[in-house]
Chain A
């Protein structure tokens, strides 16, 4: 079987001492930042991009991936124990999870979150193993027209799922695409948008841009919000849920995993959307309905399974198509490009060790998380006492050192300061930064594919609707826009995205 041969390659890479160590480091860091409120996976991955530069591409991706899914575990711990979601994707877990903790059932809540996450992680990893090769094979047939339409579709979907105003989100995408064009045009060699600054000859540095927005602008934004005081619920007690609990939750975990795995694949999806959708679904289908919102264990099991499944399957479009579905995946693409690897369907055939090694390490990482998390809960809770006033200067320091080391260019610090101010203003005006980052990563690829598609068709734009696959992508994009513009669904979307 191909699947087993591939997994064999994967485990051979993932099980080297070095990569096991990076996987462990990744999930450990992920858990820590998952616990700490005010610092999320995107920020951490951005801060660690410069470090990953010094590693082999395999180790770099294994480390960064560990942070992303590790954060989903850590986020649930604080959500349950202190009613503070460490991550946005754990917001719904606070509803029933903290109620359980107050009722003295913190242990089983934490236990079921870990078990659900592990189960979901395993299923999602298997799904990647099965789904990725055929998807990549299809993607290899894509011409420039298909790629261009796919990117349009991906960006539209990301916009639709963003919070707040649709117009602002589209504007952020377009601005991101424009920023991606800064620098030397690869085709003509013309310098674009450098405003006489030699520092911009190679474009806006991705690391500086992402750290400015997700590191520094967010620090400035968080500083205004007062410190929250945390009240830790009583003793954690026995962590393993009872057999009755497990039986109650089996359905919830299965449904959460399925829904999360599906939503994770969508552009703009990933862990956040998955957890909200799973909670809503569970509330509607669970029998007997009992009392959601008052400490129902299924209210923990479903979203925690879903966010972990979503976190894993969001790697599928990134790995097979080279299209990032969310900002963390955009960072992964950035990491690949730093190593000179063009993301896309060829990664699987050209670098099987990288591809399958990453997937095998995801499963290993999930296993480590279960083993790591449950006994160390006391330690994580103590971490919560680190005040933000000590944490944020450290974030700024790592961002600055990172932005400098990537090219040893002091100019990049200026770029970072500029985009930090921009990011703050954008956050204040309710303009989500995620679409901007996705647009920035896709900008050059989109221009290149548009240029090639039109070159082949001799300037006839009909090529995008004549190719059936391209047409299908565009129809999906238009459909999404129409659907979102319809008033009833818009209301539903606002409800679903409300935090």
Chain B
């Protein structure tokens, strides 16, 4: 059996994966009956429908011709996703300035044209803007400096 439509096939695999996760997780929830629905009723219904749709996509992909899989540029995405997570780790212990510096430099490095001086200038600008707008103007409670430092 040959996969004729790789794009559809992998989309089917992705939805199938979500359907399996949903059905496995919802297994333990009480279903109840139609007239007195438990917390498991709607999730199981949706999980089942998603599974059927995934099967249709996979089944169709071996019968009908379709588009090939495009190239996945994994590295920029991975760098950006890591930067986002690091921001989450750093924001509370180290404060906005440090977290933003790490986030901006890493994000800029994910792009095709990385220029250090320009990136540093952008980092400073974004930090000044964010602190000014989010902390001072909008008064959102975000720590600016690492906890323990004297606040400005």
Interface residues of A (CB under 8 A from B): 50-51, 54, 165, 167-168, 170-171, 174-175, 177-178, 181, 185, 187-188, 190, 192-193, 195, 216, 219-220, 223-224, 389-390, 392-394, 396-397, 399-401, 404-405, 408, 410-414, 416-417, 420-421, 424-426, 428-431, 446-447, 450-451, 454-455, 457-461
B77 within 8 A of partner (CB): yes
Contact A416 B18, beta carbon cutoff 8 Å: no
Q: Which residues on A sit within 8 Å (CB–CB) of B42?
A: 181, 446-447, 450-451
Contact in complex: A429, B80 (CB < 8 Å) = no
Q: How far is the CA of A404 from the CA of B99 in the complex (A)?
A: 12
A431 vs B104: C-alpha distance in the bound complex, in angstroms?
A: 29
Chain B contacts with A in 19-78, Cβ cutoff 8 A? 22, 25-26, 29-30, 33-39, 41-43, 46-47, 49-50, 53-54, 56-57, 60, 67, 70, 72-73, 76-77
Shortest C-beta distance, A389 to chain B (Å), equals 5
| Residue pair A417, B85 in contact (C-beta under 8 Å) | yes
A451 with B37, Cβ < 8 A, contacts A177-B46, A397-B103, A397-B126 known: yes
Least CB separation from B115: chain A residue: A389
CB pair B83–A396 under 8 Å, yes or no, is yes
Indicate if the CB atoms of B80 and A216 lie closer than 8 Å.
yes
Query: Is the CB–CB distance between B22 and A410 below 8 Å?
Result: no
Contact indicator A393/B88 (Cβ below 8 Å): no
Taking Cβ atoms with an 8 Å cutoff, the residues of B that contact A are 7-8, 10-11, 14-15, 18, 22, 25-26, 29-30, 33-39, 41-43, 46-47, 49-50, 53-54, 56-57, 60, 67, 70, 72-73, 76-77, 80-85, 87-89, 91-92, 96, 100, 103-104, 107-108, 110-113, 118-119, 122, 126, 130, 134, 138-142
Chain B residues positioned under 8 Å from A458 (CB to CB): 35
Closest-by-CB residue of A relative to B133 is: A51
Shortest CB-to-CB span from B49 to chain A, Å, is 5
Contact A420 B53 (CB under 8 A): no
With beta carbons under 8 angstroms apart, the residue of A411, A416, A430, A455 that contacts B7 is A430
Per the bound structure, the CA–CA distance linking A175 and B80 in Å amounts to 24
B26 contacts A192, C-beta separation under 8 Å: yes
Which residues of chain A come closer than 8 Å to B138, judged between CB atoms? 51, 54
Q: Give the residues in chain A near B38, CB-CB below 8 Å.
A: 188, 190
Known: A167-B57, A171-B57, A174-B50. A459 touches B84 (CB 8 A): no
Known contacts A396-B83, A428-B72; 11 additional CB pairs below 8 A are: A175-B15, A178-B22, A190-B30, A216-B80, A224-B73, A396-B80, A410-B91, A417-B84, A421-B81, A454-B34, A458-B35
Q: How far apart sit A233 and B113, CA to CA, in the bound complex (Å)? A: 27
Chain B residues whose C-beta falls within 8 Å of the C-beta of A454 in the assembled complex: 34-35, 37
Residue contact A389 to B34, C-beta cutoff 8 Å: no
Q: How far is the CA of A454 from the CA of B83 in the complex (A)?
A: 47
Partner of B110, one of A175, A223, A408: A223
Select one of A167, A223, A431, A446 contacting B76, CB under 8 A.
A223
B91: which A residues are within 8 A, CB to CB? 404, 410, 413
Cβ–Cβ < 8 Å partners of B15 in chain A: 171, 175
Once A178-B50, A425-B14 are accepted as A-B contacts, the answer to whether A404 and B25 lie under 8 Å apart by CB is no
Q: Are B39 and A188 in contact, CB atoms less than 8 angstroms apart?
A: yes
Complex Cα distance, B37 from A188, in Å, reads: 10
How many angstroms from the CA of A392 to the CA of B96 in the assembled complex?
19
Instruction: Report the Cα distance A397→B14, complex, angstroms.
Output: 29
Q: Which chain A positions have C-beta within 8 A of B25?
A: 192-193, 195
Which one of B18, B88, B112 contacts A414 once the chains associate, using CB atoms below 8 Å? B88
User: In the complex where A174-B49, A187-B39 touch, is A396 in contact with B84 (Cβ < 8 A)?
Assistant: yes
Q: Are B73 and A175 in contact (CB under 8 A)?
A: no
Q: Which one of A50, A171, A459 lies within 8 Å of B35 (CB-CB)?
A: A459
- Distance of A216 Cα from B87 Cα, bound (Å): 14
**A to B CB contacts below 8 Å, 25 in the list:** A165-B8, A167-B56, A171-B57, A174-B46, A174-B50, A190-B38, A192-B25, A389-B108, A393-B122, A396-B84, A397-B103, A397-B130, A401-B100, A401-B134, A405-B142, A414-B88, A417-B85, A429-B7, A431-B11, A454-B37, A455-B36, A457-B35, A459-B33, A459-B34, A461-B34
